[in-house]
Homo-oligomer: A and B are copies of this chain.
Amino acid sequence: MPAKKLGRSTVKFASPPIIVGTGTVVGPVEGKGPLASDFDVVLPDHAYGERTPEKSETKILEQAAKIAIERAKIEKSMVDYYMAGDLLNQIISAGYSARQLSIPYFGLYGACSTCAMSLALAGMVIDGGFADYVLVACSSHYQTAERQYRYPIELNIQRKTTSQYTVTGAGAAVLASSGTGPKLTHATVGKVVDLGLKDVHDMGGAMAPAAADTLLTHFADTGRGPKDYDLILTGDLASFGSEMLKELVRDNGVELGANYRDCGLMLFDTKSQHVGAGGSGCACSAVVTFGHVLKEMEKGTYKNVLLVATGALMSPLSCQQGESIPCVAHAVVIEA
């Protein structure tokens, strides 16, 4: 067994990396939600002065990254690596933002699990002695994701009850080998889980089994349970997926109680805002975690948070070819 590993899939950092700065940018709909005041920038509209939504997504990712570096009180040149990802083909938002930042770059693809995946890898790279500062970031955009994955937004297609709303936003964080702030103590890396579901309008349902697998693995590897955390947070299972997760883990003897919440449900007022079953997208867990949760940890509301970010790894083409939706979930523990 490797020195820093617990069980099949979990690592425990010897010197837990510190989150020393964060940056969050959200779109106009997120800016009318219950967490609005927690974000650094709220966009006036989806375009944000750019000619295409893809260019607007790159712009907000870059902006979130720059805010995180500023808050960390370091220079860009001190950042050892930039680890980023998004939902777009060839993760162009990450690639073009890396061009502007000019920091040695690792491109990651974990769909909506990217936030937790990047934290896990950044933690290993820092605790392994390869970096003092790693910048992690991810983004999504309602308009870019809808037209890539589903329909042109101009068609105004009627949505299903299980449809989710892709979050427009970007979240970034600087992790450091030393400093003050919340610490990354553990990471559980997920396997790809696919129960054969094929409905691209029910991402929460497709991803819930992956979340259950990673959550149960995390508890088995660490010997912990739901009561060991003030907050257990899934990324974007939304209303149906999070109920499904509760049932799936209950079948395995684990009860998720009031300390379980989903970022996709926290970010919006799902009753009054037209976001279907809740939010989704890479930015969903990133802005809620880096914007809201870390602020609450600073206030003392939470001491010990388990973030389980889920991602659906299909492409429109693989769905057209009759494939089901492979999903993954990565988990990280953040301690105040």
Binds B, one of A125-133, A160-168, A225-233: A125-133
Give min CB distance, A295 to chain B, whole Å. 29
Q: Which residues of B contact A336 (CB under 8 A)?
A: none
Cβ of A314 under 8 Å from chain B: yes
Q: List residues of chain A with CB under 8 Å of any chain B CB.
A: 1-5, 8-9, 11, 14, 51-52, 54-55, 80-81, 85, 88-92, 94-96, 98-99, 102-111, 117, 121, 124-132, 177, 189-194, 313-318, 321, 323, 326, 328
B4 touching A129, Cβ below 8 Å:
yes
Complex CA gap A111/B90 in Å reads 8
Sample of 5 further A-B pairs with CB below 8 A, known A92-B323, A124-B130:
A88-B315, A91-B313, A105-B189, A105-B190, A124-B128
List 21 A–B pairs whose Cβ atoms lie within 8 Å, in order of A's numbering. A1-B132, A2-B80, A2-B126, A4-B129, A5-B130, A8-B104, A14-B129, A55-B321, A89-B90, A89-B316, A90-B313, A95-B328, A98-B328, A99-B193, A105-B191, A106-B121, A107-B108, A107-B110, A121-B121, A128-B128, A128-B129
Complex CA gap A54/B8 in Å reads 31
A191 touching B127, Cβ below 8 Å:
no
Q: Which residues of B contact A104 (CB under 8 A)?
A: 8-9, 189-191
Q: Give the interface centre of A99, A108, A121 by most chain B CB atoms within 10 Å.
A: A99
Q: Which residues of B contact A98 (CB under 8 A)?
A: 191-192, 313, 326, 328
Complex CA gap A51/B166 in Å reads 32
The 9 closest A-B pairs by CB, nearest first: A128-B128, A95-B313, A104-B189, A3-B129, A90-B315, A89-B89, A99-B192, A107-B109, A98-B192
Complex CA gap A228/B104 in Å reads 24
B189 touching A81, Cβ below 8 Å:
yes
Complex CA gap A128/B322 in Å reads 40
Select from chain B the residue with minimum beta-carbon distance to A14.
B129
Select from chain B the residue with minimum beta-carbon distance to A13.
B130
Complex CA gap A189/B80 in Å reads 9
A80 touching B192, Cβ below 8 Å:
no
Q: Which residues of B contact A328 (CB under 8 A)?
A: 95, 98, 105, 107
Complex CA gap A85/B109 in Å reads 9
Give min CB distance, A56 to chain B, whole Å. 11
Q: CB within 8 A of A130: which of B52, B107, B128?
A: B128
Complex CA gap A131/B107 in Å reads 21
Complex CA gap A126/B128 in Å reads 9
Known: A3-B129, A98-B191. A109 touches B90 (CB 8 A): yes
